[in-house]
Amino acid sequence: MPLVNTKKMFEKAIDGGFAIGAFNVNNMEIIQGIMEAVASEKAPVILQISKGAREYANIRYLKALIDTAVAEYPDIPIAVHCDHGDTVDLCKECVSDGYTSVMIDGSHHSFDENVRLTKAVAEFSHAQDPYVSVEAELGQLGGIEEDVVGADDYEENIEKYLTDPEQAAEFWKASKCDSLAVAIGTSHGAFKFKKEPKLAFNRIEQIMKTCPGLPLVMHGSSSVPKEFVDKVNTFAVIDNSKPELIAAFAKAGVNWEQMPKSMGVPEDQISKACQQYAVCKVNIDTDIRLGLTASILEVWANDNIKVFEWLKAGGKGTQPAFNFDPRKYLGPARKAVKEMVARKLHVLGAAGKAGLCS
């Protein structure tokens, strides 16, 4: 099946009480892990490419990898989406590169300027054949992720940053966007909150009343799983040149707190937003980064522990080899991405829904 835009995906998601997982991609292993998961769970998927990913990987490489995924998994509906496009020109460039969906993020501008930017992107994208869907954002999130910097006082003054329901209706009508990312209490990055957040479901209800049928999008929705954070804190050694630190590390009970106080959006709240409200796209990036990084750190840490144990035994025989074959640590990292994505598909209720969106 060729790449699809998000219109049918979102129609089916709203009707069926589920959401499409929108996963950020940066390299081959991430794309492979995501696609293996959605294929095994028979779920539709949105592969998101940020401005930073374009710069890091070169869009021609990423597009070739995605084209391969389309060929490998012909039964899986796949949309390619520009995440947080910050200019009209970038969005147009993404359309020219074959994206089937683009986001123009004018949320940090005035309301009128946000409308102007979104309308310009919508007019261009909707005129394409095939049609390219457009996502916009109204309201503001907290946290930091790549080039996206949220409000500094977000958690303390969250109410003033939430999406206004009346403005949302006006914005939708004027801008002609196909979906709207709303601020409902989520936040970008791994260090989102000082205490467990509670999503503003009452605000979602109000937006659904003023904007009936409008597909809503949740940004900043990684849950920062504790098992990933624990692995990072256990295996990210500060200084492995000192025997006493290696010894402490080898016990695997020491928490270096490389990621102190990291906290994400609880998965039960994400599920509720998808099942009971009009949230039909959920962005997940931080959790992919965490799963990938935690897995690589674990492989290298276990290699260090083998060397430590060899030294402790008197250093007899051949020293355990250091693992510098990228296949040996990127393979497990890819598996970690697959397992995490498969879990998210059930949180979103998207597992088994591929046939509905084709």
Determine if the pTM surpasses 0.95.
Answer: no
Residues tagged active-site: 83
**Structural domain count, the chain:** 1
Using CA atoms, how far apart are residues 358 and 80, in angstroms rounded to an integer?
15
Question: 162: domain CATH number?
Answer: 3.20.20.70
Residue 272 has pLDDT above 60, yes or no: yes
Say what the pLDDT of residue 158 is. 62
Say what the pLDDT of residue 229 is. 77
Say what the pLDDT of residue 311 is. 79
Question: Which of 26-30, 282-286, 292-296: highest mean pLDDT?
Answer: 26-30
| pLDDT bucket at 305, cuts 50 / 70 / 90 | confident
Q: Is residue 326 part of a domain?
A: no
Residue 338 has pLDDT above 70, yes or no: yes
Using CA atoms, how far apart are residues 211 and 193, in angstroms rounded to an integer?
29
Q: Is residue 163 part of a domain?
A: yes
First-to-final CA distance of the chain: 8
Q: Is residue 52 part of a domain?
A: yes
Q: Is residue 327 part of a domain?
A: no
What is the tens place of the pLDDT at every residue in 76-119? 999 999 999 999 999 999 999 999 999 999 998 999 999 999 99
| pLDDT bucket at 256, cuts 50 / 70 / 90 | low
Q: Is residue 213 part of a domain?
A: yes
Which whole-number Å values give the CA distances from 76 to 98, 214, 282, in the listed order? Answer: 18, 24, 18
Say what the pLDDT of residue 199 is. 83
Q: Is residue 246 part of a domain?
A: no
Q: Is residue 237 part of a domain?
A: no
- Which residue reads 């250093």 in tokens? 315
Domain that holds residue 80: 7-224+262-286+334-357
What is the tens place of the pLDDT at every residue in 151-164? 444 455 567 678 99
Q: Is residue 231 part of a domain?
A: no
Whose CA is closest to 178, among 128, 116, 129, 131? 131
- Mean pLDDT over each residue of the chain, to the nearest integer: 86
> How would DSSP label each residue in 69-98?
HHHH-TTS-EEEEEEEE-SHHHHHHHHHTT
Using CA atoms, how far apart are residues 220 and 201, in angstroms rounded to an integer?
16
Burial of 8-47, coded b for 16+ CB within 10 Å and e otherwise, reads bbbebbbebebbbbbbbbbbbbbbbbbbbbbbebebbbbb
Using CA atoms, how far apart are residues 340 and 62, in angstroms rounded to an integer?
21
For residues 114, 115, 120, 125, the Cα torsion angle rounded to the nearest 10 degrees is 90
